[in-house]
Amino acid sequence: MWLIGLTGGIGSGKSSVARWFRERGVPVLDADASVRKLLNEDAETIALIRGEFGLETITPDGTVNRPVLGQIIFADESKLLRLEGIIHPRIEKLRLEELERLEKAGEAVCVWDIPLLFEKGLQALVQETMLVWVPLETQIARASTRDGLDAEAIMARVQAQMPLAEKVQLADVVIDNSRSWAETEKQLEKYWAGLLKRNVRHDLAID
């Protein structure tokens, strides 16, 4: 299976690019969705977070309070690393299970939507990396509009990730999403056409 590692940063528009692939029938593994599933449904994960970070991180309905947890981990890198130690092995298990299911179903191409692809050095797990890039000021403006966060909270999240300027040097493919969506789609269509020319097709198995 040809696995594309899709990454970006807060406010970059990575989710819009992932949706573009979905609309064309390409399966997308969403690392953030896997995290949400663990924080909302997995009793073991929820218990570990409660024990590690306190009762205030758990809502009355027994799920993890993500805004509260976010305030804790983004203010202290050591706590962020402790959370990752709980979450990441479980995300990897879910990813491998889903890839196995897709391969058995005969899918030839899959997108792995993962924000920390480069930060965690996971490039070797994919055949190709794709970065969705925008300037920092665009990240801040879009995150403010989308999430209602103030500039300080946005910068805390930006600084918790590798700068997009550094990721550009690591990515196999860079999609510039700083202009209109029509311009972004043109880049994606060009990429997809090139991928097909390399004999990466939905209806053919790929080693």
Per-residue pLDDT of the chain (207 residues; tens, 9 = 90+): 899 999 999 889 999 999 999 999 999 999 989 999 999 999 999 999 999 999 999 999 999 999 999 889 988 889 989 999 999 999 999 999 999 999 999 998 999 999 999 999 999 999 999 999 999 999 888 888 887 777 788 888 888 789 999 999 999 999 999 999 999 999 999 999 998 887 555 444 333
Tokens of 169: 């040097």
Count the neighbouring beta carbons within 10 Å of the beta carbon of residue 10: 21
If we measure between CA atoms, which residue out of 111, 123, 116 comes closest to residue 30? 111
- Please give the span between the terminal C-alpha atoms of the chain, in angstroms, as a whole number: 6
Residue type, 144: S
Q: Determine if residue 119 is left, alpha or beta; phi over 0 gives left, psi from -120 to 50 gives alpha, anything else beta.
A: alpha
For residue 188, give the H/E element and its range.
helix 181-197
Backbone angles phi, psi at 6, to 5 degrees: -95, 125
The stretches of 24-170 forming alpha helices (DSSP H) are 31-41, 43-53, 66-74, 77-104, 136-147, 151-159, 164-170
Q: What is the CATH number of domain 1-27+108-207?
A: 3.40.50.300
**DSSP β-bridge partners for residue 29:** 112
